[in-house]
A = this chain, B = another copy of it.
Amino acid sequence: MQLRLLISVISTFSLFGNEVYALWPIPRTLQTGTSFVKLSPDFGITVNVNNPPQDLLDAVSRTKAYIQTDKLQRLTVGRGANDSSAIRSAPMLAELRVSLNSGSTVRPIADESVRPLAQRVEGYSLTVPSNGSAAVLTANSTLGLFRGLTTFQQLWYDLSGVTYSYQVPVVISNDTPAFPYRGFMLDTARNFFPVDDIKRTFDAMSLVKINTFHWHIVDSHSFPLQVDQFPEVSQQGAYSSDEVYTPVDIQDIVSYAGERGIDVLVEIDTPGHTAAIASSHPEHIACNQASPWGNFANEPPAGQLRLASAATTQFIASLISSVAKTLPSTLFSTGGDEINSNCYAKDAQTQSDLSASGRTLEQALNVFTQATHKSLTDLGKSPVVWEEMVLSHNVTLPASTVVLVWISSANAASVARKGFKLVHAPSDYFYLDCGAGEWIGNTVGATSWCDPFKSWQKAYTFDPYANIPSSQRSLVLGGQQLLWTEQSSPENLDSIVWPRAATSAEVFWTGATLPDGTPRNGNTALPRLHDIRYRMVNRGIEAIALQPHWCALRPGACNS
């Protein structure tokens, strides 16, 4: 109704063309004009929601603040100065009206952000008229409103202190994501990342509508997760008492994420990648720090949970349960990658446990995995696993299991064929750490195992449905870029992640086609990616230059 009314006042109107708002991800529907509006000094955001949750009001406040403080100049020669008279004489926008569609339930954004993926409602509609009439944002959930506020923030530029928008009127009608899962994975075990680094990462993620933080929180190198029921594990297994995520930190992180539309999917990788547990519980770890590590693990230090031991199985199931029950997400990862069979072959206790039970290693793995997964399903949660759990082992998994495809994008089709829901996390497209040389010490000419560097161009070409027949496409939940931190630390977190990790955000929000129906393509993406990068920098996120600034000001001039 409201929408139809607005459309009727629209005069100049253009379909998506050469000049387009630098929105990232680009909405699935978008119509723009050629007029200007500037922000009224009295600009306000009216929230027409009954008993609006505090995190919606906070998001509204942040939106107002960002619009004032972004001070982003347009990426064009002259930075918009050619439009100064048009801007000077432009109508002023005094109001953005925010409301839920009738029948919508009012819940905090944080609650909406952790609903099961199939029930997650992120769509929104947004119109900004050209005549200064109120802009209108509607959605079916507070989370949808949050997404729309984020889009609205990206409409504003600065010219000599004047905040303005160009290419109004803007009409975005029910912009909903093509895929429900759009993630980013961070490894905080190889090197530690303070809470503030993670929160700043959420600021960047939410700016590009990434909705899942896959937190590879512990590994063989360190165990920074403080678990209420098992405090000794981080006491002995963290790098130091300062490099720990306390329960208070975890809740702080989960809240900060939820208020920004982000679900926190914690991973406790099992049974491999667990050497750090040996510092407090040597009885549970086989081949701890065994040498040469290459015989026992894919990287140092070796160390895996004694999966054939009932006591070890009980221990880790309890630990997982103890952590998972404090988290609102319906997803929790038990890992399952890179299990080294030689580690178990050489472990006397595992061999003795296996012969006592009469099980093979694979059978024991099945028992072990079912126990860890029961600790999750008992809490109503779905397990998430790495692809080996379905492609390399014979393990019975709950139908709700979500599989992370990492070894190769080519394996996604195999996972789908087995009927599992999957998330694309392929090393050949989305591993942000590739290409910085081999980190193992005594190597000279060696490149990283997953060379070359995964450029934004490469990641952006990812096809979520490659080799997946249409009957299985509903299994594809989405995808994510990932940062393994052998060679990363807080010092390069932003610069190695941003703006590159924004590419998968658009692949999985916008889908295969641009608003005008043409295929997504790198040529029209690059100017927008530059734009979101500069906006990130203005917000304190150390996103790197993709090209010389000269090129960023001249779309297409630095193509071959």
The distance in angstroms between the C-alpha atoms of A88 and B85, with both chains bound, is 73
The distance in angstroms between the C-alpha atoms of A548 and B485, with both chains bound, is 7
Within 8 A of B (CB), among A200-251: 220-222, 239-240
Least Cβ–Cβ distance between A272 and chain B, in angstroms: 16
The distance in angstroms between the C-alpha atoms of A337 and B557, with both chains bound, is 22
Which of A190, A436, A441, A557 has the most CB atoms of chain B within a 10 A radius of its CB?
A441
Is A10 an interface residue, CB under 8 A from the partner?
A: no
| A542-B492 contact, Cβ under 8 Å, with A437-B453, A558-B300 | yes
> Of A173-181, A393-401, A414-422, A442-450, which stretch is located at the interface?
A442-450
Is A359 an interface residue, CB under 8 A from the partner?
A: no
Find out whether the CB atom of A548 lies under 8 angstroms from the CB atom of B492: no
Find out whether the CB atom of B239 lies under 8 angstroms from the CB atom of A523: no
Interface membership of chain A positions 37-48, coded 1 if the CB is closer than 8 angstroms to chain B and 0 otherwise:
000000000000
Interface membership of chain A positions 536-553, coded 1 if the CB is closer than 8 angstroms to chain B and 0 otherwise:
010000111111111100
> Of A112-120, A152-160, A454-462, which stretch is located at the interface?
A454-462
| A455-B440 contact, Cβ under 8 Å, with A190-B549, A488-B544, A491-B544 | no
The distance in angstroms between the C-alpha atoms of A75 and B288, with both chains bound, is 21
The distance in angstroms between the C-alpha atoms of A547 and B485, with both chains bound, is 8
Q: Which residues of B contact A436 (CB under 8 A)?
A: 435, 453, 455
Is A526 an interface residue, CB under 8 A from the partner?
A: yes
Q: Which residues of B contact A299 (CB under 8 A)?
A: 558
The answer, among B79, B190, B301, B451, for a CB contact under 8 Å with A452, is B451
The distance in angstroms between the C-alpha atoms of A491 and B560, with both chains bound, is 26
Least Cβ–Cβ distance between A549 and chain B, in angstroms: 5
Copies of this chain present: 2
The answer, among B294, B491, B522, for a CB contact under 8 Å with A442, is B522
Find out whether the CB atom of B300 lies under 8 angstroms from the CB atom of A545: no
Chain A residues bordering chain B, tally (CB within 8 A): 67
Is A362 an interface residue, CB under 8 A from the partner?
A: no
Least Cβ–Cβ distance between A430 and chain B, in angstroms: 14
Is A53 an interface residue, CB under 8 A from the partner?
A: no
Find out whether the CB atom of B442 lies under 8 angstroms from the CB atom of A461: no
Q: Which residues of B contact A456 (CB under 8 A)?
A: 437
Least Cβ–Cβ distance between A497 and chain B, in angstroms: 11
Is A84 an interface residue, CB under 8 A from the partner?
A: no
Find out whether the CB atom of B544 lies under 8 angstroms from the CB atom of A444: no
Ranked nearest first, the 8 interchain pairs of A and B with the lowest CB-CB distance are A437-B455, A492-B495, A489-B545, A190-B548, A491-B542, A221-B550, A442-B559, A441-B559
Known: A222-B548, A489-B544. 19 other contacts (CB 8 A): A191-B545, A191-B549, A221-B548, A221-B551, A222-B550, A239-B550, A435-B437, A435-B452, A435-B453, A438-B455, A439-B546, A441-B523, A441-B559, A442-B559, A444-B461, A451-B452, A453-B453, A489-B545, A491-B545
